[in-house]
Amino acid sequence: MKTKITEMFGIEHPIIQGGMHWVGFAEMAAAVSNAGGLGIITGLTQRTPDDLAKEIARCREMTDKPFGVNITFLPSVNPPDYPGYVKAVIEGGIKVVETAGNNPVQVLPVLKEHGIKVIHKCTTVRHSLKAEAIGCDAVSVDGFECGGHPGEDDIPNFILLPRAAEELKIPFVASGGMADGRSLVAAMALGAEGMNMGTRFMATKEAPIHQNVKDALVAASELDTRLIMRPLRNTERVLSNPAVERLIAKEKELGSAIKFEDILPEVAGVYPRIMRDGDMDAGAWSCGMVAGLIHDIPTVKELIDRIMAQAHAIVHERLASL
Ligand SMILES: Cc1cc2nc3c(=O)[nH]c(=O)nc-3n(C[C@H](O)[C@H](O)[C@H](O)COP(=O)(O)O)c2cc1C
């Protein structure tokens, strides 16, 4: 399947693995790229720019295919060394950067100067148009279903994607709730040039996370995610667990007076305890509604081959026969 996205990124299949904190290590990115998609290393999971440089080098040893790096711009009192991370990306010969969070305008000129394509992840049409206006090459349009931060507008992909198609000139991929060949064909029908998956890639053999996390995804249904941090305007979709229920009880009790410090025990330093140690009740971790569509733990190649075969069958058999 050749699309503007496969052409732009030099990949075989229009499938991207979105940056994921404590999941997007070299093993994850290389497995996706080796299977013909675009794997992405999560920049900020690496503690320093130097560590990111080493992670990029490690990934290069595992694949000769293109892979990217995610740089997430977070609201933060002590911002990470963004120029340092960008330097590691450039010196590591990376040709695709996925940006997310705040508008990437500060890093765009230097990335462009080095011939790096930028795909910005947005949860609204207006942010997507802004990304286009400042010179991003593509957008990842992330619907309300998504794992992680869906924004504050709550527009699901059946509306958000065709709205993006109405307005955008640059190509976009569908993100949020994508799991299989049905998702891919639907995304293309709604105007996307491919799809971005997060949660689904966690439940694969190569995902470098604890087996407990993968098992939790297989066990979860589409009813098991919760939205947290809405009163802080930092909404995140996470898998429900006792820590999340505790956090939600605090939100109800404190209302608009809640501060980030009130929920620190449920959100700070949680990722290594969940992803590395498998301590499933340690706190809140991002997870999409798509958990309801995850029923097994294939290899990344099995997953991607299955997606492409199913998409082909839908287009050439089911739809063609109507
Ligand atoms: C565990 C986890 C961690 C994530 N961490 C990040 C991150 O650090 N930066 C980012 O831009 N997106 C992050 N995301 C969002 C994904 O890149 C992607 O946009 C999202 O998962 C798509 O929705 P889906 O889970 O329904 O496929 C994360 C998602 C998950 C599930």
Tens of pLDDT, residue by residue, the chain (322 residues): 999 999 999 999 999 999 999 999 999 999 999 999 999 999 999 999 999 999 999 999 999 999 999 999 987 778 899 999 999 999 999 999 999 999 999 999 999 999 999 999 999 999 999 999 999 999 999 999 999 999 999 999 999 999 999 999 999 999 999 999 999 999 999 999 999 999 999 999 999 999 999 999 999 999 999 999 999 999 999 999 999 999 999 999 999 999 999 999 999 999 999 999 999 999 999 999 999 999 999 999 999 999 999 999 999 999 999 9
CA pair distance 81, 48, nearest whole angstrom: 8
- Model pLDDT, residue 49: 98
- Model pLDDT, residue 74: 82
H-type helices in 92-156, by residue range?
A: 108-113, 125-134
CA pair distance 92, 113, nearest whole angstrom: 15
Ligand 1 contact via 45 beta carbon (within 6 Å): no
CATH C-level class of 4-205 = alpha beta
Residue of 34, 32, 51 lying closest to 43 (CA atoms): 51
Tokens at 270, concatenated: 């949680």
- Model pLDDT, residue 182: 98
Ligand 1 contact via 198 beta carbon (within 6 Å): yes
Atom of ligand 1 nearest to the CA of 100: 11
Residue linked to tokens 């979105």: 18
Q: Within a 13 Å sphere around the CA of 19, how many CA atoms are in the beta-carbon half? A: 24
Ligand 1 contact via 147 beta carbon (within 6 Å): yes
Atom of ligand 1 nearest to the CA of 101: 11
Domain boundaries, the chain: 4-205
Ligand 1 contact via 67 beta carbon (within 6 Å): no
The residue whose C-alpha atom lies closest to atom 8 belonging to ligand 1 is 21
Residue of 293, 313, 96 lying closest to 176 (CA atoms): 293
CA pair distance 207, 201, nearest whole angstrom: 7
- Pair 42, 35: CB distance under 8 Å: no
Ligand 1 contact via 291 beta carbon (within 6 Å): no
- Model pLDDT, residue 284: 98
Backbone φ, ψ for residue 214 (5° rounding): -65, -45
- Model pLDDT, residue 104: 95
Ligand 1 contact via 288 beta carbon (within 6 Å): yes
Helices 300-313, 181-189: crossing angle, 10 deg rounding: 50
